[in-house]
Structure 1
Amino acid sequence: MGSLTIHEVESVVAGSVVYPPGGRFGPRIQNDIQLVMLHSGTVEIMIDDLRLTVRSGHMIKLMPGREETFRFASSEETWHRWVAVHPRDLSEEAFRYFDELPTVLALSEEMNRLTDLILSLQLRLSDDDPLLRSLGFSALQLFPIESSRHTWEKEKHSAVYRAIEWVRVHYAEDIALGDIAKACGVSAEHLIRLFKQHEKRTPIQFLWDHRLDRAISLLIHTGLAITEIADRCGFKSSNHFARLVKQSTGLTASQIRQSSWRGLRASSRERR
């Protein structure tokens, strides 16, 4: 990854802020390699002489030494989070490597989860703690991976990203299609069309697939009773859970657990 190594990461800071309609920030000179995740609203950014308009569901890469000015949406709140990685001495080679990556990419679930972890841990750790430095370095490693994926994967609509993120948090609850659509700010019919276009399945099919993934993970990695797993993952009953597991994997819940505990891993990714 260029010439930057984890040992050259001096500190890592993450944050989250909601700007009111019409909010502004800057101009300021950027001191870090910073990844900004936009979750709602829009932002117009001036980076030196480059003007960018970025909407929710995207992440922005900011480079040290550049002058930045931010203007946020005039008609709604804008929520964004960030991870700022401060290197001790960024070589020309490393700077060029990061600078040549895209400035704006679709925000991924992996980057979201990594940001969640950094935000949580920094409440108890100093900015230069080795664990935080490692996680910040991981974010910089993840960005070019997302960049490569972006070149061949068609960008999803921001409502799809919001729906996926919302389902991953609320999957254990009693959820209807209307709940997901409301959380994403679109109609149920429009959300179905978007999911069929980008995910090749409906939002409800995505929900049940995610529930099944989580439940099978609990089967493999815990000793919880099957009835408890079914309840924790939002299934109507243990029989409902058992039927979907069999349909999806060709194995019963007990067979999956027994196989994994004998070292023969059977996961939800092995569906027929």
Structure 2
Amino acid sequence: MAIYLEMPELDKDFPFRILVNDGDILTTPHWHREVELIYVTKGTISLGIDDVPYKLREGEIAFIGGGLIHYVLASPGSERLVYQFDLNYFTAGNKENLDLQKLFAELLPISPYWEKKDETAVRSLLEQMNREMENQETGYQFSLKAELFELITRLLRDIPQQAKQPKKINKLATQDVLEKLDGIFSYVEAHYQEVLTLQTIAEITGYSSFYFTKFFKKNTGKTFLTFLNEYRIDKAKWLLINSDLPVSEIITQTGFESDKTFYRLFKSSMAMAPLEYRSTMKIE
């Protein structure tokens, strides 16, 4: 599985799952087409959504729309439930023609920003879903589906929107395109510290350089070089907030051949220097 793109293995007939993660499990920056909720059941966790760091305590919830880059730092002594589901299953026959991906990407992402009654209602639904999944009594999938529809309705009606729109909503594609992209991202994940050329990555995918360029731009909205630079910058941001490595070592570890190029791209991306970013974003 590539770190940049995660492809959860969900049941195609009912694309929904719940994971239990303890505080020693961290997830580096990634995105996926599925919607995700994180419910903290013990302790405190530190996470980031769309480059914004947050801290959640027991009983609090994070909501992550499909396509948004996010991560969770190691938080010893904590525990969290992770809920993932594919919106495509729940939008079939949607006569309102709602763009749920866009609407969900605009919601305030953590429950301390919500009304207390709305946080309580969503928490109650998540707990009930977890009980149904654990017990699996007769008809439990019907109950889960009903609760998921109620959850979607509550999110749409009750959760306030952000004043500022998220910066990164990754394009959602068909499954075969996602699998092809996953192969590309997996290769980049394994080799981003090396010299990577357009011709090399095109050969890996079995495409000509010309066709690969069109395919990649069509399905990601950016050139491969732009993606590779952004990927390396994302790796650098991860190291800045999750390590004490000097910037010179981070530049080497993320595959940049020139310090000047790294500083230019980083400042263009984040509107601040790397050490300022570390000071601003690192969660103690």
Question: TM-score by structure 2 length?
Answer: 0.42
Q: Which has the larger radius of gyration?
A: 1
Which is strand-richer, 1 or 2?
Answer: 1
Question: TM-score by structure 1 length?
Answer: 0.43
